[in-house]
Chains A and B, each alone.
Chain A
C-alpha cells in the first residue's frame, strides 16, 4: 500500500497532471510521505552546507546553524501553504489545506533528487566544470516549479492564467504574513516592556 503511494511520487515527476488527478480521485495522498519529503529537504540543505566538495563549498562548516536552514526551507513552506490556502478558498479554489500541503511537498521530489546528484558530483568536478552543476540545479528548480504549478491547477481546478495569478497573490500573501508577524512581535514586545516597567516602578516606590 505504501509502496503504491511512493510510486505516485515518481509518476507525478513525469506526468504531473495525470498523476495528481489520479491521486486526487483515489484519495491516495500520504501525510507521512509529505513529512518525509520535508525532512529530506532539510537534510539536503545540511548536506549541502557540510558535504559539498571543497571547490564549490563557500560555507564555513563550523558555522552551520540548523535554525537558519529551517528558516530557509520549512518555514517558508508552511507560510506558502497557509497563504495559498487562505487566498484560494476566496478565489473558488477546490483544494483543501491538506491537499495543498501534500502537493507542495510532492513537487519537491525532482529538486531533491537533483540536489543530491549535485552534491555527489560537486566532489568530483573542477571549478571550470562547475557551470554544469549550476545548470543542473536550475533544471531541478524549474522542474519542481512546473510540477507545483500543475498540482495547483489540478487541485484548485483553475485555468493556467488564474493559477499564475494565484501564485503571485500567494507570494504577496506570504510577505503580508511576515510583515504582520513582525509587527505583532514588536507590539507584544513593547506591551511586555510596558508592564515590566510598571511592575518595577511599583516595586521600587510602593514597598
Chain B
C-alpha cells in the first residue's frame, strides 16, 4: 500500500464516523418497556429537527406560551399567554397573522393569561380565559362573539372558583371545558351557552392507602376523621379530540393505568390494551430520589392524536413524549429535560403536523419540532398496516424494525399474527414466543398440534392401541403368570 492510499484510508476512517454521528445525534436515549416492565434501550423513534422561537418568526419573543393548536387547514395557533396574543402560522412556520386586540360589545377587552385554545374548522377560536372565569368564542379579527360563564346550576359546587383551563369543541358544536379542581368531569355547553352537564369523569382508584384509611375512618371519631385526607377523584389535566369525536384525556397524580383515557360519546373510557384489559401508561420503572425524598412519576400535561391515530402524551416530570397506538402499545419514547435542542424546560403542550410532533415549551419560550427517524417510520408503517388488518403486508416493515432493534417485542407479535394468517403455525409459535404473547402462542400451538397429529395419524393410532394392549396385559398379569407357571410345571422336569 502506498503512502497516498494510507492517507486516503485514514481520511475515510476519520470522516465516516463523524457523518454517521451527526445523523443519529440526539440528546436523549430512546427506550421502550419489555414484558417484564423493564426499560430497555431502543433506537430513537423521533429526532429534534429544529426549534421555532418568536424571534425566528419576527414577532418578538414569546412569553410563557401556554397552549397551541393546529386546525384542519394546518394553521398553527400559538397562545402566547404572557403577551396576551395569538400568533397564527401556516404549516411551513411562516407568520400569517397576530391577534392581539379583542373587541367585545362594549368596545376593547383584554384577555389576561389565557391557558387553553381551540380552533374549529370554520376558523372560530375558543379561549379558556381562566382569570375572568369564562370561555370566549372569538373570530379571526378578534371580535368576541360569545362568552360562556359559570352556569346557574346546583350541579356546580358553590365553593369552587370557576376557572376554565382548557377548552375543546366537537363537530356538533358542543363545548367542553376543564374547570380547575372540579372533579365531576368536563363541563359541557351548547353553542348558545346552556349548561348540558358533565362529560366523563375519573373515579377514585382503590389503593392500599385508601383501604387503610377506610378502616381507620371506621374506628376514629368525627373530629379525627375530618382531619384525615379525603379521597376524591382527580380532575383532568388536559384533553384532546380526534376527527371521530372521541375525547382523549390525561390525568395527573393517578395510577398508571388511568392516566390516559379515551371517552366515547357516551362518556365511557374505551382505551384498552391488546388483550382487552386496562393498560399502563408512562414510565413503569420509578426511582426514589433520596435528596428530594420523593419518587418522581410520569405526569401527563397534554396529549395529541396524530393523523396515524397514534396517541402522543407529554410528560411534565421528565419532559418525555410517550407514543402509543390505539391498542395502548408503547411505540417509542423521546424527549427529556435540559437545555439542548430536543430537551425542554417546562413542556406544556403537544401537537402534531404533517407526521411530525411539536412540543411547546413555556420555559424556553419556543416550539421544538420532532421528525420520525427511519426506525420510527418503519414502526409507524408496520403498526398502521397491522392495525388495518393487513398482516401479510406488515411483515416487511416489521423485519425492517427488527433489523434496527431486535428487542422490539411488538414486531415479533406483528410477524406472528401475519404467520397465523398465512397458516405457518410453527413460525407463528416461534415469533409469539419471542414477543412473549402467551395467548397468541396458545392459539398457534393448538393449530400446530392438530396439524402434527393429522400428519402422523397412523403413528398416533398405533401408539394408542399399543398403550391399550399394554394396560390390558398389565391388568391380566396375574392370570398370565399363573398360566405360564402351570406350563412350566407341566414341562418342567
CB-CB nearest in chain A for B439:
A127
- CB-defined contacts of B445 to chain A, threshold 8 Å: 55, 126
- CB-defined contacts of B439 to chain A, threshold 8 Å: 127
- CB-defined contacts of B443 to chain A, threshold 8 Å: 126
A120 in contact (CB, < 8 A): no
B457 in contact (CB, < 8 A): no
What's the nearest-Cβ distance from chain B to residue A25, in Å?
A: 27
Let me know if B36 and A128 touch, CB within 8 A: no
**Which residues of chain A in 74-119 are interfacial with respect to chain B, using CB atoms and an 8 Å cutoff?**
none
Say yes or no: A124-B449 contact (C-beta < 8 A), given A54-B433, A60-B36.
Answer: yes
- CB-defined contacts of B441 to chain A, threshold 8 Å: 54-55
What's the nearest-Cβ distance from chain A to residue B237, in Å?
A: 35
| 18 sample A-B contacts, Cβ–Cβ < 8 Å, listed by A number | A54-B433, A54-B438, A54-B441, A55-B438, A55-B441, A55-B442, A55-B445, A60-B36, A124-B449, A126-B442, A126-B443, A126-B445, A126-B446, A126-B449, A127-B438, A127-B439, A127-B442, A128-B442
Indicate with 1 or 0, residue by residue over B112-153, a CB within 8 angstroms of chain A CB atoms: 000000000000000000000000000000000000000000
CB-CB nearest in chain B for A127:
B442
- CB-defined contacts of A126 to chain B, threshold 8 Å: 442-443, 445-446, 449
Distance of A175 Cα from B309 Cα, bound (Å): 55
Distance of A54 Cα from B433 Cα, bound (Å): 8
What's the nearest-Cβ distance from chain B to residue A203, in Å?
A: 29
CB-CB nearest in chain B for A124:
B449
Indicate with 1 or 0, residue by residue over B25-55, a CB within 8 angstroms of chain A CB atoms: 0000000000010000000000000000000
What's the nearest-Cβ distance from chain A to residue B3, in Å?
A: 53
- CB-defined contacts of B446 to chain A, threshold 8 Å: 126
- The interface of chain B, by Cβ under 8 A from chain A, is 36, 433, 438-439, 441-443, 445-446, 449
Interface size on A, residues (CB 8 A): 7
What are the 5 closest A-B residue pairs judged by CB atoms, nearest first? A127-B442, A126-B442, A126-B446, A55-B442, A55-B438
CB-CB nearest in chain A for B446:
A126
What's the nearest-Cβ distance from chain B to residue A140, in Å?
A: 22
- CB-defined contacts of A60 to chain B, threshold 8 Å: 36
Distance of A126 Cα from B441 Cα, bound (Å): 9
- CB-defined contacts of A54 to chain B, threshold 8 Å: 433, 438, 441
Distance of A55 Cα from B433 Cα, bound (Å): 9
Distance of A126 Cα from B433 Cα, bound (Å): 14
- Among B36, B433, B442, B443, the one with the most A-chain Cβ atoms within 10 Å of its Cβ is B442
What's the nearest-Cβ distance from chain B to residue A53, in Å?
A: 9
Distance of A23 Cα from B253 Cα, bound (Å): 65
- CB-defined contacts of B438 to chain A, threshold 8 Å: 54-55, 127
What's the nearest-Cβ distance from chain B to residue A50, in Å?
A: 15
- CB-defined contacts of B433 to chain A, threshold 8 Å: 54
Distance of A124 Cα from B445 Cα, bound (Å): 9
Distance of A203 Cα from B85 Cα, bound (Å): 72
What's the nearest-Cβ distance from chain B to residue A10, in Å?
A: 14
Distance of A55 Cα from B438 Cα, bound (Å): 5
- CB-defined contacts of B442 to chain A, threshold 8 Å: 55, 126-128
Distance of A159 Cα from B318 Cα, bound (Å): 67
Indicate with 1 or 0, residue by residue over A40-76, a CB within 8 angstroms of chain B CB atoms: 0000000000000011000010000000000000000
What's the nearest-Cβ distance from chain B to residue A46, in Å?
A: 20
What's the nearest-Cβ distance from chain A to residue B382, in Å?
A: 24
Q: Give 16 A-B pairs besides A54-B441, A127-B442 with Cβ atoms closer than 8 angstroms.
A: A54-B433, A54-B438, A55-B438, A55-B441, A55-B442, A55-B445, A60-B36, A124-B449, A126-B442, A126-B443, A126-B445, A126-B446, A126-B449, A127-B438, A127-B439, A128-B442
What's the nearest-Cβ distance from chain B to residue A51, in Å?
A: 15
Indicate with 1 or 0, residue by residue over A146-171, a CB within 8 angstroms of chain B CB atoms: 00000000000000000000000000
What's the nearest-Cβ distance from chain A to residue B298, in Å?
A: 25
What's the nearest-Cβ distance from chain B to residue A23, in Å?
A: 25
What's the nearest-Cβ distance from chain A to residue B91, in Å?
A: 48
Distance of A28 Cα from B141 Cα, bound (Å): 102
- CB-defined contacts of A55 to chain B, threshold 8 Å: 438, 441-442, 445
Distance of A87 Cα from B438 Cα, bound (Å): 47
Distance of A54 Cα from B429 Cα, bound (Å): 10
What's the nearest-Cβ distance from chain A to residue B459, in Å?
A: 16
Distance of A10 Cα from B433 Cα, bound (Å): 39
CB-CB nearest in chain B for A56:
B438
